[in-house]
Structure formats: C-alpha cells, structure tokens
Amino acid sequence: MIFIIKNIILLLALQFYQLMQLVFATNNFNKLKEVKALLPEHIKLLSLKDIGCFEDIPETQQTIEGNAIQKAEYIKKNYGYDCFADDTGLKVEALDDAPGIYSARYAGKQRNANDNMDKLLTQLSSIHYRNAQFKTVLALQLNGQLHTFTGICEGKITTKKRGYNGFGYDPIFQPKGYTKIFAELTLEDKNKIGHRGKAVSQLILFLKTYK
C-alpha cells in the first residue's frame, strides 16, 4: 500500500512538472539561450513570440528592479501567463554607475552592442580605475504573487574588445578573479559565474521548493 501511495504521489508530481510553463519576457535571443541552458527539463520556457507578444514592453522605471517588475507585470496583466522578466545593467564605478538602466541603449536608440562598447571605452580611455559590475534582477509573477531574484558579477572593463562568445558588453568585461573575459568563456562557464546565471539559479531553487 505504501509503495502504491508513493507511486501516486510521484505521478502527480510529474504531471505538475510537465504542466509547469513560464514565459520569459524578452525578445533577446541570447538571453533566452542562456536561461534555457540553465532551466531543468520539467520547466517549459515560452518566449514572447510563443504567446503572440510582438509589441515593445514598457521599461520606464528608474531602477533595474523596477524595470524587471514592470515587464513581468505587463505580461501577466495583458496575456495572463505566469512569467518572469529580467533587467540587466552594467555599472561602472568611475562613471557613477553608468550606463546602468541605459546599458542596452547607451549609444542611442539603435541598441547596437558595438556602439555601446565603443562609447564606454572612449569615456574610460584616460581612466585607470575601471572596476564595474553586472547586475541582473529577475521578477517572477507566479499565481498572483511577485518574487524577485538578484545576481551580481564583479569585475572590470578592459581596454579593448576580445573574444567571440556572448553578447552585449561581454567582449570588454573581465570577471573578478579571471584572466579571461566573458566573451572568451563558454556559455556553461559564463553561466556558473555570471550575473544572469546567479539570478536564474535562485529562480530554479525557488521553483523546486515552491508549493
């Protein structure tokens, strides 16, 4: 009898896991790829394209946390899906934590990564103190409740671009304690130490224990 009960509980748990799906509120293919590589198989990740969301989601808040929450709440309110959204900023100490919330459009509305890096390198050209950090906040809307998870990676800005992996500012960000920069690391290695990987790991731990 105990064996049968255990099997029933296991079957119900597996059914729950198979039904668990979350929307990741991003149009960034690279972010989607990074997060998919971290999530366990029982969590089905949907993109904005999968739910028919093609409009620009508002990001009008003044903090990284605020923008992540705003995006998650937008999807929940307008599409009804449980979802999570992220916002990430690169904060350079010598520039009073710029570019911060403007990281993706630092050099203009075109949101071009090379333009952003070129602008940052130019601004730091005569500055030797180049400490910086990446910060990611994930905002999860699940069953009507909001939860947030934060990941931070300390490092510094290099003097020139290197490497071919990653995206965004990865070719000029050297994580603390490493000789390689983000763009020289494999996706697996970057996820182990990176800001987004840390935040997603907290999200996964929460989902595993969520009732």
Catalytic positions, written as ranges: 87
Task: Cite the DSSP H helix spans in 163-194.
Answer: 187-193
**Cα atoms in the 13 Å half-sphere on the side-chain side of 178:** 22
| Alpha helices by DSSP H, the chain | 2-19, 29-36, 64-79, 113-123, 187-193, 195-209
CB atoms under 10 Å from CB of 114, counted, come to 10
Amino acid identity of residue 168, one-letter, is G
Which neighbouring-strand residues pair with 45?
22
E strand or H helix at 167: none
